[in-house]
Structure formats: structure tokens, C-alpha cells
Amino acid sequence: MSRNLAIIDLGTNTFQLIVAKETKPGFEILLQKSTPSRLGKGGINQGIITPEAMARALLVLEDFKKELDAFGLSRQQILAFGTSAIRNAANKAEFLDAIRAGPGLPVRIIDGETEAHLIYLGVREAVSLGTVPNLIMDIGGGSVEFVIADGQSVYWKKSFETGGQRLLDRFVKSDPLSSGSIRKINDFLEERLIDLSNAVHQYAPKILVGSSGTFETLAEIDHWNRMNEWPPAGQNGFDIPLEEFYRSRNLILSATREERMKIPGMRELRVDMIPVAICLIDYIISRYHISTVKASRYSLKEGALVDLLQTDNRSGFPSY
């Protein structure tokens, strides 16, 4: 008998929910919802969750709980992941207590290595990784996960606390971003991503596969530019030509927030953080001589579903 399951990703910038039905093989997504929580706003670089961010997050989770109740899901059918903003917060216990007292959802805090592994499993479902090393990149608000892998094996993976909200709070002083701020971001990344540089030197990936978020938005902007419409809902993997990335980069980095919102394919969910995310991607492409860019709609949530459905654990979720 098939199960209905729910995965919640409590991200630093956005909370995301999927409800899926187990099929043979794989899963069918019944509901997908993304809501800004801004959990890291104002506190991410101080290692706290502010009272305002906590209040916003609880409202989002109350809304998610209503969706889950409509599907009749029990706690045993729900898995919520806490990532960078929660795992690094000095007051995470207070936040988790508030979730238990309010929406009552079970939350598991996962480390960066587990987060990277689940992202790999999700991306592999959406994009053919072939037999050569790919550099998989997931830009969150608090952390950025990098995985070097092909379709069968993971060679290296690591999570870095260089996410979009951290860069936004630390470096963004004007709109649009100044050239000086962009230089400071690049210098910061050069300093913080030494372990990634060593891994890239060893495995020499030339294909960058971006997971969800900004990469999905770039794919949608590209599709609007070429086709004047949204991509098909069932398309989960995309090619982003380098010339299209550079066109979007120049457009986004020269625009104010109001002007960015007018770019066909731009989503309000991404509009504030996308300039620093573009700087991150641009740094990776340039620094590591990337020749091909792809995007995956799937990320941690779908990877958690894959991981769950690949186990024989019929009574609950794997222990992360």
C-alpha cells in the first residue's frame, strides 16, 4: 500500500513543503509550497534567531500544519529538516520549543554533510550526472553546499557558511550592488572556499549543476527570454548556456530591486538575495573554469524522499 509523506525544509530564507505519494518506483508530488520566512534576517551573522524571525517562522509553520492536516498526515509521516540558521543559532532550543508548543511539527537538525548528501540525491533525480565529475552547488541563505559527484558516486562534499543571507547582511550596502561590494564578496569567497579549491584541483569538474533556488530562477529567466513563457511544470532539469548566464548576471547586477522585479521570470521570493547569489555563481564559474551550467528543480526535499523510499524502514524516517 502506498504512503503519503511530507518533507519540510526549514531554510534560512525560505520554508518549503512537499507532500508526496509513494509510487513504484519513486514518488508523485501532491503539494509543493514555498514561503519566505527570513529566519536568518538580522541574526544570521550573530548566531541567533531574532524574535521577529521566530514569529515569522511560526506563522509559516502554522500554515504548513493546516496543509498537512488537510491530507490527514500524522507526525510519523512528516519530516522537517533544520539547516544552517537553526543549527548555528545559540537560541535554537528556544525556537524548537516554540515549534513543539505551537505547530507541533517534528524537526530534526542536520549537519552540513547530511544536507549535502540529500541535495545530491535530489539533484540526481532531476539531472543526468553521467560518468564524469560534476560540481553540484546549492545556495541557501545560511550555507552553500558543494558536492563533486557523478551519477553513481560522490567523490567529495562539504557545506560552507557562506550563504546568501550572510553575504547580504555583510556586504550589501547599496541597491544595485556596488563594484566595491562585489570585489569584497569575491575576496571573502577566495578566503573561505579554500577546501573547495583543493577539491576542484583534484577532481577537475567542468560541469556546474545548481540546485533549486537561484539556479531555478535563472533557468526560468532564460526560458522567458527565449520562449516568453514559464518552463513546463514537469521539467525538472535545465541547461543554462553560459552566454545566458552572463546576460542575466549583467541585467540583475545593474538593476535596483524594482527593476529586478520587472525581469520576466523573476520571482519575488528570490529578488532580494539574487544579486549576492549571482556573485557566488559568477565566482565559481570564473574561478574554476566551468564550461557547462545546468539547473535542477530538485534539492534537499526531494533527496530526503529518495533516501526514505530507498530504505526498508516501513515504520518511520531514517535517523539523520
Q: Would you list the domain boundaries of the chain?
A: 4-109, 113-300
pLDDT score of 197 more than 70 = yes
Region 239-250 average pLDDT:
97
Compute the distance between CA of residue 185 and CA of residue 245 in angstroms, rounded to an integer: 19
For 170-173, the CB contacts below 8 A with 24+ separation are 170/45, 171/276, 172/275, 172/276
**SS3 of residue 138 by DSSP:** strand
pLDDT of residue 319: 47
State the pTM of this model. Answer: 0.92
pLDDT score of 312 more than 80 = no
Helices 274-287 & 164-171 angle (0-180, nearest 10): 100
- pLDDT tens digits for range 64-90: 999 999 999 988 899 999 999 999 999
Compute the distance between CA of residue 147 and CA of residue 248 in angstroms, rounded to an integer: 25
Neighbours of 207 (CB within 10 A): 18
pLDDT range class, residue 23, cuts 50, 70, 90: confident
Compute the distance between CA of residue 22 and CA of residue 185 in angstroms, rounded to an integer: 43
Element (H or E) spanning 16, and its range?
strand 14-22
- pLDDT tens digits for range 119-159: 999 999 999 999 999 999 999 999 999 999 999 999 999 99
- What CATH architecture does domain 113-300 belong to? 2-Layer Sandwich (3.30)
pLDDT score of 297 more than 60 = yes
* Sign (positive or negative) of CA dihedral 237, 239, 245, 248: negative
- pLDDT tens digits for range 204-234: 999 999 998 999 999 999 999 999 999 998 8
Question: C-alpha distances in angstroms, 69 versus 2, 36, 74, 286?
Answer: 18, 21, 8, 47
pLDDT range class, residue 315, cuts 50, 70, 90: very low
Averaged pLDDT of the chain: 93
69 Cα distance to chain centroid? 26
In this structure, what C-alpha cell is assigned to residue 164? 546568501
- pLDDT tens digits for range 28-60: 899 999 999 999 988 988 999 999 999 999 999
Neighbours of 31 (CB within 10 A): 15
pLDDT score of 247 more than 90 = yes
pLDDT of residue 289: 97
Region 172-179 average pLDDT:
94
Are the folds of 4-109 and 113-300 the same? yes
Fold category of 4-109 in CATH: Nucleotidyltransferase; domain 5 (3.30.420)
- pLDDT tens digits for range 257-295: 999 999 999 999 899 999 999 999 999 999 999 999 999
Compute the distance between CA of residue 119 and CA of residue 102 in angstroms, rounded to an integer: 29
* Sign (positive or negative) of CA dihedral 233, 144, 166, 33: positive
